[in-house]
Amino acid sequence: MQDTVLAQDTATSVLEEYSNNSLLNQTLLITGGTGSFGQKFTEIALKHNPRSIRIFSRGELLQLEMQKKFGDNPKLRFFIGDVRDKDRLYRACDGVDIIIHAAALKQVPLCEYNPFEAVQTNILGSMNVVNAAIDCRVEKAIAISSDKAVEPLNLYGATKKVMECLWTQANSYTGGRSTWFSCVRYGNVVASRGSVIPVFLKQRENGSLTITDDRMTRFWITLEQGVNFVIDSLTRMQGGEIFIPKIPSMKIMDLAEAISPSSKKVVTGIRSGEKMHEVLITEHESRHAKEFYNYFIIEPEHSFWGTKFPSGESLPEGFRYSSDTNAQWLSKEELQKLLRDA
């Protein structure tokens, strides 16, 4: 890889504002729209002046609270529904230009305890969204994946991996209907529900932080960075790609020190299904991936519909994008700033 490709400030790797008009006058549908990603996406997308945004989710209370939060914005439409319900999805997708698929069961222990439910939502539900998008002639559909989909060690990661395969290869089913499917894959979201940061913030009240293994590293991205990257990927997508932002890593001990330097650090042992380091691109995937200034693209390995990116740098043999060998690292001060801004 060329030095000019990698020369980048870790704190600003995906912080830049994306000035594109991919959402202008478009009708959007966000599955899982009342979640943390969906709400931040809605907040940012409204600034791009879409025609309307349809919020699709299961919980009426969260929809009511979100409606109040956005002040009964006339551009927002709220659809109570489940991605398992194909008929309801077809109704919600009618007249939609762009789908952002963020609905999923995400809590690792709960997915392990309820495996059938995880499969029905994360895999079969994603298939329903694909079929609805094609039949309703949606122009673009982009799904939100996770680093847990890479070499998965738990059921949640496995369902996300299958979702990626279904979503990217769904381009084979579109025929002449010109619907494009792509994915975005990134790491842990700062201060999101389910991440270790809210756990540490709560534990510091008692003066003791529990760490499963002090050698761990993790990728980190803010919610706003993730949303902006998704919006930017909408302008680049040709169908079948997995977009991966260049984001910084941080050692778990540095993370704990940044949140509460005075607290006691207690190592409890690695949990089942937990990784020592996170990976966003494997050695195998790097053979059909391209590097750009602040992101990577994994091209579809079986591109029956002909998608290829002529630009971008090919990755060296054996390249692996892992949190422990990352070229970018987040300092304690940078993390503290991200937490203040989150």
64-119 pLDDT, tens per residue? 999 999 998 999 999 999 999 999 999 999 999 999 999 999 989 999 999 999 99
194 inside domain: no
Mean pLDDT of the chain: 90
CB contact set of 124 (below 8 Å; sequence gap of 6+): 84
266 inside domain: no
DSSP lists the bridge partners of residue 243 as: 184, 297
DSSP letter string, 20-88: --TTTT-EEEEETTTSHHHHHHHHHHGGG--SEEEEEES-HHHHHHHHHHTTS-TTEEEEE--TT-HHH
239-279 pLDDT, tens per residue? 999 999 999 999 999 999 999 999 999 999 998 888 999 99
Does an H or E element contain 310, and which? Answer: none
CATH number at residue 35: 3.40.50.720
- Mean pLDDT, range 285-313, rounded to an integer: 88
The predicted pLDDT at position 9 comes to 38
181-236 pLDDT, tens per residue? 999 999 889 867 767 888 898 899 899 999 999 999 999 999 999 999 999 999 99
Sign of CA dihedral 98, 103, 104, 107: positive
Domains identified in the chain, total number = 1
The predicted pLDDT at position 191 comes to 67
Angle among Cα 288, 171, 34 to the nearest 5 degrees reads: 100
pTM: 0.91
207 inside domain: no
125-162 pLDDT, tens per residue? 999 999 999 999 999 999 999 999 999 999 999 999 99
Catalytic residue among 148, 160, 161, 246: 148
145 inside domain: yes
303 inside domain: yes
The predicted pLDDT at position 271 comes to 86
pLDDT at 40 over 60: yes
Domain, as residue range, for 71: 3-186+222-246+280-321
pLDDT at 327 over 50: yes
The predicted pLDDT at position 311 comes to 86
pLDDT at 11 over 70: no
Runs of H (alpha helix) within 104-153: 108-113, 115-119, 125-135
> 264 an active-site residue?
no
Say which residue, 121 or 307, is predicted with more confidence: 121
The predicted pLDDT at position 278 comes to 95
168 inside domain: yes
The predicted pLDDT at position 302 comes to 81
Long-range contacts of 126-130 (CB under 8 A, 24+ apart): 126/83, 126/101, 126/163, 126/166, 126/167, 127/166, 128/83, 128/84, 128/85, 128/86, 128/89, 129/31, 129/83, 129/89, 129/99, 129/101, 129/103, 130/166, 130/167, 130/170, 130/173, 130/181
14 inside domain: yes
213 inside domain: no
